[in-house]
Amino acid sequence: MKLNQQNEKLENQGRLLVKCPDKPGIVSVLSTFLHNHDSNIIESSQYSSDPENGIFFIRIEFHCENLLGKSAQIEKDFEGIAATHSMDYHFAYGNERKRSAIFVSKEPHCLMELLWEWQNGDLDTDIVVVISNHEEARHLVESLGIPFHYIPANKDIRKQVEAEQIRLMKEYNVDLLILARYMQILTPDFVSHFENRIINIHHSFLPAFIGAGPYERAYKRGVKLIGATSHYVTNDLDEGPIIEQDVERVDHRDDVRDLKKIGSQIERRVLAKAVKWHLENRIIVEGNKTIVFH
């Protein structure tokens, strides 16, 4: 009974994300529209980059009885409002469960965190496949009934590898790619297939220590804080729109091994948060920045 009630709740729950030029009355326009379509706003968050000449961003979560039957008409009716106010917008619905793929190399800590969150029901997605250039994670993944594909990768065969990965993404109908410490550089061709749908975890507090070996370089620099950054992947290495970051304090007593151990804990929680927020439609990408409605 509880499961049926939860499914019914999700079926009647919608989300609306809007970006448009800022001017008075936008919130009123949106709330009136939803009210006229028998919808009740249950959560609303907004942000203006500049109240006078800026861009307005808003995320609205709403409840509407028989939303599945009404959604097409709601979206059609919204087109006029969007055109009048120059809105970029997106409707999402609670019954739409995204399909995710996880890419991983040797280090399993971020993969294990995501699988744990998924098993707990705290990651609202179907993990449909895991792809790795190493075999280490196979037993863990397959023990959970998730398909595992081992695809050796290096710069000499990158084109063939990515062609196979793209084929698998289409075969499994993947919505989101999660790089859980996948230690291979993706080509512009691969990234272009999944714009703003690839989330990476980088083991440093960007923009510091871009690229390989950040913990070693942080140790040599004598940093007092180390961190991790989750971001969307673009063609610029480790420079895509940042979703979430966190740090921990360290000192001269910590060697590289200590930094990696502390850092792995940060990486796990930062990546999990970023993925959750993407799945919950809490992120709007604006240029090379993100607006994140927590």
The CATH number assigned to the domain holding 269 equals: 3.40.50.170
Q: What are 229-278's pLDDT values in tens digits?
A: 999 999 988 889 999 999 999 999 999 999 999 999 999 999 999 999 99
Residues 79 and 220 placed together within one structural domain of the fold: no
Q: Which amino acid is at 211?
A: G
Q: How far apart are CA 66 and CA 12, in angstroms?
A: 6
**What total of structural domains would you count in the chain?**
2
Q: What are 258-269's pLDDT values in tens digits?
A: 999 999 999 999
Residues 133 and 275 placed together within one structural domain of the fold: yes
In the listed set 61, 93, 125, which residue is the last one of a domain according to the structure?
A: 93
Residues 232 and 166 placed together within one structural domain of the fold: yes
Supply the pLDDT for residue 109: 96
Largest CA distance in the chain: 63
Q: How far apart are CA 229 and CA 79, in angstroms?
A: 36
Supply the pLDDT for residue 83: 98
Q: What is the mean pLDDT of residues 162-176?
A: 97
DSSP string over 95-141: T--EEEEEEE-S--HHHHHHHHHHHHT-S-EEEEEEEESSSTTHHHH
Q: What are 115-144's pLDDT values in tens digits?
A: 999 999 999 999 999 999 999 999 999 999
Q: How far apart are CA 197 and CA 77, in angstroms?
A: 28
Single out the residue of 30, 277, 228, 187 nearest to residue 285, CA to CA.
277
In the listed set 93, 110, 141, which residue is the last one of a domain according to the structure?
A: 93
Residues 16 and 141 placed together within one structural domain of the fold: no
Q: How far apart are CA 36 and CA 204, in angstroms?
A: 48
State pTM to two decimals: 0.93
Residues 84 and 103 placed together within one structural domain of the fold: no
Supply the pLDDT for residue 2: 46
Residues 133 and 217 placed together within one structural domain of the fold: yes
Q: What is the mean pLDDT of residues 80-96?
A: 96
Supply the pLDDT for residue 198: 98
Active-site positions read 238
Residues 29 and 172 placed together within one structural domain of the fold: no
Supply the pLDDT for residue 6: 55
Supply the pLDDT for residue 258: 93
Give the DSSP letter of residue 49.
S
Supply the pLDDT for residue 212: 83
Residues 119 and 42 placed together within one structural domain of the fold: no
Supply the pLDDT for residue 3: 43
Residues 212 and 274 placed together within one structural domain of the fold: yes
Instruction: Tell me the average pLDDT of the chain.
Output: 93
193 contacts 166 by C-beta, under 8 angstroms: yes
Q: How far apart are CA 46 and CA 48, in angstroms?
A: 7
Q: What does DSSP say about strands 55-64 and 13-21: parallel, antiparallel, or unpaired?
A: antiparallel
In the listed set 93, 119, 144, which residue is the last one of a domain according to the structure?
A: 93
Confidence class of residue 203 from pLDDT cuts 50, 70 and 90? Answer: confident
Q: How far apart are CA 254 and CA 268, in angstroms?
A: 20
Beta partners for 40?
A: 63
Residues 150 and 10 placed together within one structural domain of the fold: no
Residues 62 and 144 placed together within one structural domain of the fold: no
Residue 4 has pLDDT above 70, yes or no: no
More confident of the two residues 50 and 86: 86
Supply the pLDDT for residue 209: 80
Q: What are 28-67's pLDDT values in tens digits?
A: 999 999 999 999 999 999 999 887 789 999 999 999 999 9
Supply the pLDDT for residue 7: 60
Distances from the Cα of 147 to the Cα of 104, 144, 168, angstroms? 13, 9, 11
Residue 1 has pLDDT above 70, yes or no: no
CATH number of the domain residue 70 falls in: 3.30.70.260
Q: What does the block give as tokens for 146?
A: 């998730």
Residues 158 and 198 placed together within one structural domain of the fold: yes
Residue linked to tokens 């190493």: 134
Tell me the three state secondary structure of residue 217. Answer: helix
Domain range for 132 is 98-292
Residue linked to tokens 């097409």: 72
Confidence class of residue 172 from pLDDT cuts 50, 70 and 90? Answer: very high
Single out the residue of 269, 232, 231 nearest to residue 247, CA to CA.
269
Portion of the chain with pLDDT greater than 90, in percent: 85
